[in-house]
Amino acid sequence: MRRLTLKDGASDKFWEIDLQGNQYTVRYGRAGTDGQLKTKEFDSEAKAKSEHDKQIAAKLKKGYVEDSAATGSLPAQAVTEPPKAKTSSQKKTTSEASATTPTATETKPIAAYAEEPVSLGLLPVDWRWAPWRPREETEIPPPRPFNLEQLQKTFSGIRIDKSSYLGDFDWRTAETPLRMSKEEAAFWLVAMSNNRRTIAERKKHLKEWDFSKPVDYKQMLYNEAPSTPWLMIPAFNLLSEQEFLDLALTEKEARYHGADLQWERVRGLQYVLPLLSAPGIERLKDAARAHVSVANWPVSNFYQTTNYFVLAAVLGLSDLLTDVVESWDDKLYSGDAWHDHYHKPQEVIFGLQDPEQVSRHFRRLKLRLSNPDYIRAWLAHTGLQHLDYIEESLKQESNRDQAENQLSALIAVNAAEVAPVMLSLTKASKAPKMAKNWLDEHPQAAVTGLAHCIASHRSGALRQDALAALRLMKRKGYADLMQQTAAHQPTLAETIDEVLNYEDPADNPLTDAETPDWLQTGLTPKSKAKPVDWIDANDLPPIIMAGRAFNAQHVAALLLTLKTADSQQAPFFQQLKEQTDGGCLDAFAWALFEAWLSEGAPSKEKWAMMAMGYLGGDESVMKLTPLIRKWPGESQHQRAVSGLEVLRLIGSKTALMQLSGISQKVKFKGVKSKAQEYMEQIAAEKGLTKAELEDMVIPDCGLDEKGRRVFDYGPRQFHFVLGSDLKPKLKDDSGKLRDNPPKPSAKDDAELANDSLQEWKLVKKQIRDMAKIQAERLEQAMVVGRRWKAEDFDALIARHPLMTHLARLLLWGGYQNGQLAGTFRLTDEQDFADVNDDPLALDGFDEVGLVHPLHLTEEDKNAWGEMFSDYELLPPFQQLSRPVFALSEEELEQQSMSRFEKMKLPAPTLVFGLEKQGWARGEAMDAGGFDEHSKQFAAANVTAVVNYEGVVGMGYIEADETLETTEIVFVKGMRQPSGYGWDQKDKILPLKQVDPLVISEVIKDLNQLAAKAEQ
């Protein structure tokens, strides 16, 4: 048996593996506990040995070290459902699939309920972040004998922090003693220096250092730029106290920061404070008092450092710092994210004596807990009282390595109060796997904390997530622990009983004999592939069919089928959707995708994302779309493109409408172009134009044919209405409008109310997004003169459950032979009425379109304006009140709109300003730049083109770059985006030949830019 341990300052874990023939057993958990067991069996002893060695290598790579005292062997663990004998030829396929896929195992907790002491996981040095806390007077051990070999081994076991640019050592895990011999101090000084080298170079440098050679370490300390505050521990042991204080108080002149102390030296004083004499500490305080004042805080210079203020915080000089912190404006650090980087206001606030004031100032200034030390400092001040702020700060971190580094401070805490935070972080952070592991490794805290969460929340997503998490724990074998918890904590008994008594379909799995033949056949992988071993099937939501859950073999076979899936299996997946109970496949697919993300989104397992395309539904669509829009900005362009492919594979109206929305408006050109390509391909496959396809795939969002929906609480109901700001709202029985349904009361039907709340969350977001997309489409339809056949308008717009709400707010025109023949509005009853409010039929019109005010007389505009005012109809964009523009007689003789030539604008203002108005960016030219934007006007058969000079690239648009317009011309036909003025010079129209509506709309767009142009 091999035993490995990991002590990283934040946790103390063990991991054991015992190889027996063709299987191995793993036991893992926190030191001092019995941990958890898992057994895995292989086809041969050689394969088991190979995988055994890989597992050990992986653990050693993560920083685990050998425990040479480990002996004995581990008990083999039984699987929940061992492979069954084949009962018939009809059942052969699933059995064969199961033989090559992992079966889910039930993890039985070994330790029973015990009163665990709450621990914040803080070292003595961490408590010094809260200077108001009394310090324990503990005797500091004398220096230990110098043992170079042991120190080298300790150095090799230090955790690597991947969140820094070059990677760095987490010196906190080195457990360096405060008192050390000169030789050991020299060792750590050399180890902690040279931070500009790579990890490998620094290890090599330390290995080659000759510690027998005399070195002026004092001079080395002055010459070396301090790389870490921990360097001050060996510095103190190498210097006299006087020399050490001279070093700490030595200022350095920096180009942008001015003369100041060095932060690493100041922060490192925190570690050695117990070693300093009273006169030494007083000298430091005198230095702080001489520099710290409200007037000296660099309010207007975010590059200036503030290390004398940090010194005051380290020393606990709250009286000096209180007025300084109170003087900061609430918005001082609300600008760019780096504004607090040099000032370090967090560290100054941590010097205050009152934890409630610490919390108040962090919250009003919206400061991030942006590193693990800040999270430990927050815990040292506030204990478990303000965990919500840690949670929100971790959710804001967009970098995975940074998120994991920050979360390393919180996972050291053992307290039930942390469980809801960890559960939330599994859903909404960049370190979901670490959060999930905490819940797995702290089952008792998880049960207690999540049960408290359920008991204190009558409704809401967190309550539902906590219920789901406890039900999962029950399936994993923690029912006994839950019962013991209820017995020891009677206030949780009712909540835990609710979990234990829940009729979980997963407790009633399908047997092989009951499995339909079509399912047996479909779950047979089409090609050989390695088993899916990176996810525990127990962690995925159950798949329910006719009230029965897929068993472990079914799930394992489905995962392997998804891994090897191609388009030929689409019919099987469609049948699976039709036969399974509502929403379970959608939830399964999304959970699989989240698990893939938590593993670091390995490209070789991308099938786990594409599985959403086969099994996902509208809920996955609504959660995936914001990620697709965000990913390119996080250097994940290819993942975003894969997301578009998932939307295309799902193929529902909601999915295609979201795809359409991305094709129309997203700031990343590559993703936008790919979405447009997909929409064009789908339209061509269906024999439609892109606009016609977009009309046909508008989802009904769960509204009925009249555009209504009721959210039922039993005794009371809430009716959907679309607000004037295009935001979904609810009207109660008294006519009062609400943004959201109220919390259920004791008189409401709990089941109905909870279902309504969950439905509202999905519908609200869906309608809000759809209404915004459709309003923008309708405005562009008016601008470019799009027309619908009268019967298509009636079916796709007037009587569409969602579009009817928007159509009622606008003025429509009936066209005969291309000419406006009449105007009308859509009534609440989905009838048509003219300006006199008389009924009107569409029979007399060939086409219907939105009326542009340029085509109305002043009398018509006034009459319709009065009508809309009487009915309190507020259009989603300017229509009747839309400004109309024209060119002068002199300008009409030109070919370019000279009034807008030579406008100078910042590149982002011009580029994004035009794209917001529906203009398309030009094609990439040499070096990846572009020099135009264009806009097509289909009804007039004209394309407007704005050309400009300046450097602007597809990948990055510099805020400091200025673009200057050179010409604004109109080209006959539907010209595609181009560059260098290609495909336009011989097609440019004189301005007098351009439709006045086109002229008016282009002037309107460019006027908005002109208002921002340099004068």
pLDDT confidence of 339, banded at 50, 70, 90? confident
- What is the number of residues in the chain? 1015
How many angstroms separate the Cα of 373 from the Cα of each of 321, 347, 370, 408? 20, 10, 9, 10
916-961 pLDDT, tens per residue?
888 888 888 777 788 899 999 988 889 999 999 987 876 667 777 8
Structure tokens at 836: 């006199």
d(CA 28, CA 64): 12
677 CA to centre of own chain: 27
List CB contacts of 655: < 8 A, sequence separation 6 or more. Answer: 618, 621, 647, 648
Q: How far apart are CA 330 and CA 253, in angstroms?
A: 30
pLDDT at 212 over 60: yes
pLDDT at residue 545 tops 70: yes
Cβ atoms 126, 380 nearer than 8 A: yes
Most confident of 391-395, 702-706, 776-780: 391-395
pLDDT: which is higher, 859 or 818 = 859
Instruction: Round the average pLDDT of the chain to a whole number and report it.
Output: 87
Output the CA angle 267-270-275, nearest 5 degrees: 135
Q: Is the pLDDT of residue 756 over 80?
A: yes
Confidence band (pLDDT; 50, 70, 90) for 83?
Answer: very low
pLDDT above 90 coverage of the chain, percent: 56
Question: pLDDT: is 59 or 314 the higher one?
Answer: 314
Task: Please provide residue 954's backbone torsions phi and psi, each rounded to the nearest 5 degrees.
Answer: -60, -40
Between CA 62 and CA 69, with CA 63 as vertex, the angle to 5 degrees is 125
89 pLDDT tier (thresholds 50, 70, 90): very low
Tens of pLDDT, residue by residue over 617-673, are 999 999 999 999 989 888 899 999 999 999 999 998 889 988 988 887 787 878 888
Nearest residue to 768 via CA among 729, 732, 825, 797: 729
735 Rama class: left (phi>0) / alpha (psi -120 to 50) / beta: left
Q: For residue 387, what are its two tokens?
A: 């965990």
Is 60 exceeded by the pLDDT of residue 104?
Answer: no
Q: Indicate the angle between helix axes 607-615 and 637-650, nearest 10 degrees.
A: 20
Domain 2-66: which topology?
Answer: q64v53_bacfr protein fold (2.20.140)
pLDDT score for 78: 30
Residue 600 has pLDDT above 50, yes or no: yes
Q: What is the pLDDT of residue 976?
A: 84
Q: What is the pLDDT of residues 429-466, one digit of tens each?
A: 999 999 999 999 999 999 999 999 999 887 778 888 99
Query: Pick the residue with more confidence: 27 or 804?
Result: 804
Confidence of residue 11 (pLDDT cuts 50, 70, 90): low
Model confidence band, residue 845 (pLDDT cutoffs 50, 70, 90)? very high
Residue 210 has pLDDT above 90, yes or no: no
Cα–Cα distance, 60 to 132 (Å, whole number): 41
pLDDT at 279 over 60: yes
pLDDT at residue 27 in the model:
80
**Tell me, what's the pLDDT at 888?**
94
Compute how many other C-beta atoms are within 10 angstroms of the C-beta atom of residue 298.
Answer: 15
Distance CA 498, CA 508 (A): 18
In 3D space, the residue among 336, 342, 348 whose CA is nearest the CA of residue 374 turns out to be: 348
Q: In the chain, which segments carry CATH 2.20.140.10?
A: 2-66
pLDDT-above-70 percentage for the chain = 92
Using the predicted structure, report yes or no on whether residue 163 has a pLDDT greater than 90. Answer: no
pLDDT recorded at residue 959: 73
Residue 186's nearest CA partner among 155, 217, 207, 208 is: 217
Q: Which residues contact 326 (CB under 8 A, 6 or more apart)?
A: none
Instruction: For residue 577, name the pLDDT band (cuts at 50, 70, 90).
Output: very high
Q: Is the pLDDT of residue 388 over 90?
A: yes
Distance CA 296, CA 312 (A): 13
Mind giving me the DSSP string for 68-127? TT--S-PPP---SSPPPPP--GGGHHHHHHHHTSPPP------S----PPPB----HHHH
For residues 339 and 135, the model is more confident at 339
Q: How far apart are CA 248 and CA 305, in angstroms?
A: 16
